[in-house]
Amino acid sequence: MNAVGGFMGQQAQTSAANKQRLLQFQMQKQDYYTKGFDAYSKYNMKKARYQNRLTNNLEAYGRTVSAGDRRSDQLGRAALYAGQDARMKMQQATGQIAATTGVSGVTAGRLSGAAMSQFSRDQNLRAENLISKRQDIMINRDTAYRQMIQANKDAYADVYIPPKPGPAPVTPVMQPGPNPLTLMGGIGNSILGGYQLHQSLQPPGQG
């Protein structure tokens, strides 16, 4: 009975230890998957914010381009109207000079030439001013574009490195239980010992 009791005790102890190992492994595995899910969930949220930032940056740049185009068109129309108005005034001035009495042909020609020269200078100034303002618009557009690229790079830094799973928990090695052959040997030894004890208690000549 001692052999059986010892065997059963060892078997119960081993089974309890294996159950504890298995339970600990299951808890570690659950923690591993939970942390991995949380990490990827946070990363996906970062990617969504990253895409929104790219869209917002592009829209901001688009607004700058559209505003610059409208401003350039306005400046072009204003320069065109100013040139047309100046031409009309110049023509009116040269007409008045030609119609003025008492002004010789040479003098009238000089005055008309001066008026035309002034008109040309004014036209050149208007053209230079238009070119300068349109250059400012292009510089502003280029600055906005470089700012968009930099903002996109800054946003990408948040999603540049995706999460990496850590080491997975190792499947535990179950402890083997007691060998049944040991139980059989113990039972055999008990029987043999009992027999030997029984024989030793028999009177001489019996057995």
Which of the pair, 150 or 16, is modelled with greater confidence? 150
> Is 7 within the bounds of a domain?
no
Would you say residue 57 lies in a domain?
A: yes
121: in domain = yes
Residue environment code for 186-206, b if the CB has 16+ CB neighbours within 10 A, otherwise e: beeeeeeeeeeeeeeeeeeee
Is 36 buried (19+), middle (13-18) or exposed (0-12) by CB count in 10 A? Answer: middle
Q: Indicate whether 71 belongs to any domain.
A: yes
> What's the confidence (pLDDT) of residue 191?
54
48-52, 138-142, 180-184, range with the lowest pLDDT: 180-184
Give the tens place of pLDDT for each residue, 80-107: 888 888 778 777 766 665 555 455 555 5
* 186 in any annotated domain: no
Q: Indicate the number of domains in the chain.
A: 1
Which residue in 65, 76, 77 sits closest to 138, CA to CA? 65
Tell me the pLDDT band of 192, cut-offs 50, 70 and 90. Answer: very low
Q: Return the higher-pLDDT residue of 20 and 176.
A: 20
Indicate the pLDDT class of residue 183, thresholds 50, 70 and 90: very low
Question: What's the pLDDT score for residue 14?
Answer: 79
Question: Residue 159 belongs to what domain range?
Answer: 19-166
13 in any annotated domain: no
Answer yes or no: is 6 within a domain.
no
